[in-house]
Amino acid sequence: MLFLGLGTGLGSALIVKGTLQPLELQACPYRKGKTVEEYVSTEGLKELGHRKWNRHVLKVIELFRYMLQVDYIVVGGGNSKFLTDLPSNTLLGSNQFAFLGGIRLWEGIPKKFCSNTVFRPKH
């Protein structure tokens, strides 16, 4: 499964056999010397308008589906609410659990890496 986060930038992660693999898909060249992120981020939305932006997001979804051969794509992030007519095997995610996911990731960090931080998880 591929996750794409549409917001100020483009976040991406791949889940392979239950393991999260962070990606840097935002840097992929796309069109006219620009990257994918420049088209599908908030910057792209402001520059292109909702209709054109939506078309580019759908093209990018299909490009990544073909490139990575994933069964499902989940699209989330603050700008995902502007999407219409998602392709098959593409789900609109919810930001509801983003904060909890961040906490779970933080809890897995060994204490020795947390000594200079403002917030330390309780272990």
Residues 6 or more apart whose Cβ sits within 8 Å of residue 70: 1, 2, 14, 64
Instruction: Return mean pLDDT, the chain.
Output: 85
Structure tokens at 109: 């960090």
Look at residue 115 in the predicted model and tell me its pLDDT: 52
Look at residue 22 in the predicted model and tell me its pLDDT: 86
Look at residue 119 in the predicted model and tell me its pLDDT: 47
Enumerate the domain spans of the chain: 2-92, 95-123
| CA separation, residue 102 to residues 69, 97, 98, 107 (Å) | 27, 9, 6, 9
Look at residue 120 in the predicted model and tell me its pLDDT: 46
For 62-89, the pLDDT digits (tens) are 999 999 999 999 999 999 999 988 999 9
Burial of residue 46 (number of CB atoms within 10 Å: 0-12, 13-18, 19+):
exposed
Look at residue 111 in the predicted model and tell me its pLDDT: 58
Look at residue 18 in the predicted model and tell me its pLDDT: 82
pTM of the model: 0.78
66 and 44 in contact (C-beta within 8 Å)?
no
**CA separation for the pair 115, 60 (Å, rounded):** 40
Which residue ranges of the chain lie beneath pLDDT 50? 117-120
CATH code given to domain 2-92: 3.30.420.40
